[in-house]
Amino acid sequence: QGSHSTMSGQPSKPSGPLTQEEKELDFANYFHSYGYLYHQKDMLQDRGRMDAYRNAILENRVRFKDKVVLDVGTGSGVLAIWAAMAGAKRVYAVEATTMAKNARRLARANGFQEVIIVLEGYMEQLSLPEQVDIILSEWMGYFLLRESMLDSVIASRVKYLKPGGALYPSHAQLHMAPLCTQLYHARHAEYVEELAHWQTFGQYMRSTNSIEIDVLDETWRQEQFEYLMQTSHWCQLSPEEVIGESFTCLTLDVHDCTVDQVSSFRSNFRSRILAAAELTALGGWFDVQFCGSEQEPAAVDVELTTAPPSDTHWGQQVFFVSPPQHLLPGDVLEGHVAMTRQRANHRLLWLQITFTITRPSVGEIYPERTLNFRID
């Protein structure tokens, strides 16, 4: 139900932190938290994530046996250990944070110190001594592309993957759907409460400090609206909150997508409404598949989905429609989604959703709306 972007083409020059200043800023903004076990534990106890990667590797031993594997962003090294269990000849496990030390400890504790070579540093700035047969990585962020870790996978693919080699995961899709979610009303009530608190604060400033701050009222309102209503929210949605057909707005083949193609996209969509409800938001989630490559297909295909009601640490991203709009079954939501990276931090995103609502039963088309969001 949508004309979506299919990303393919020739590899482009990957972007990455090059200067020491850029490297330090990127580490502070992004990599820092990954150096702590509590963050690794959050991912390791995500059963949907773990089951998919474990099955994709261990049920495809025939593809990993005697192969050279690169694990990009190994974290605690669990995926690298599974690759070694599957019979890999050698595994290069690359980690940008000091978690690399723990990955080495786990590799040794599990008897794979002779197979797994842990390298600490940025993937783009390291040099491997050989080409690899398989690139393994858990690169997906919220809304699939937040964190921009796919850039490092693309860089390693261009530089190190043998012709015909495989990426795990091999494919990815980004989906969205219209929602009626109570989260909207909770966040809107919080927004109204913040405006009331500001008025109370203004009275205090006037009566106690003899300072008028009314001139800042609109700035406060805008700041709170952008934070509470125009920033995406993490949520675990139930299927009942989805009120219309889902649509796919991005499809990736990880074997040939480029950094330019995952840095921004624009996709048309069309969604038929299935229930009488209030349109309070649109939701976003992703699927990835582990199918191997055309030359080295997986013996067993595995899929990891984050669609509701799946319970993963990625959850789903919710984008509020404010004010909401009442919809009837058969109404059609039609428009386009445009995503780009934030200039101040390339690991964060901007999303714009433009749509109209058509009510075929009476031949009515409602005015076009454009909504802008930060994915922080």
pLDDT the model gives residue 217? 98
Cα 200 to chain centroid distance, Å, stands at: 39
pLDDT the model gives residue 4? 41
Mean local confidence (pLDDT), 251-263: 96
The pTM score is 0.89
Token pair of 240 as six digits: 């009942």
* pLDDT, averaged across the chain: 91
Cα(163)–Cα(295) distance, rounded to whole angstroms? 9
What is the C-alpha R_g of the chain? 23
Closest-CA residue to 74 (of 47, 90, 92, 52): 92
Residue located via tokens 């990009």: 72
Cα(233)–Cα(209) distance, rounded to whole angstroms? 37
Q: How confident is the model at residue 157 (pLDDT cuts 50, 70, 90)?
A: very high
As a three-state string, the secondary structure of 263-318 is HEEEEEEEEEECCCEEEEEEEEEEEEEEEECCCCEEEEEEEEECCCCCCCCCCEEE
Q: How confident is the model at residue 146 (pLDDT cuts 50, 70, 90)?
A: very high
Q: How confident is the model at residue 5 (pLDDT cuts 50, 70, 90)?
A: very low
pLDDT the model gives residue 41? 83
Given a contact cutoff of 8 angstroms between Cβ atoms, the answer to whether 364 and 332 are in contact is no
Q: What is the H or E stretch that residue 191 is in?
A: helix 182-209
Q: Is 240 helix (H, G, I), strand (E, B) or coil?
A: helix
Q: How confident is the model at residue 8 (pLDDT cuts 50, 70, 90)?
A: very low
pLDDT the model gives residue 13? 33
364-365 and 277-292 as β-strands: parallel, antiparallel, unpaired? unpaired
What tens digit of pLDDT does each residue of 78-96 get? 999 999 999 999 999 999 9
What tens digit of pLDDT does each residue of 166-181 get? 999 999 999 999 999 9
Q: What DSSP designation does 27 have?
A: I
Cα(24)–Cα(34) distance, rounded to whole angstroms? 15
- Per-residue pLDDT for 344 more than 90? no
pLDDT the model gives residue 24? 52
Q: Phi, psi at residue 274, to the nearest 5°?
A: -105, -15
| Catalytic residue positions, numbered | 138, 147
Cα(120)–Cα(104) distance, rounded to whole angstroms? 10
pLDDT the model gives residue 361? 86
Cα(279)–Cα(355) distance, rounded to whole angstroms? 12
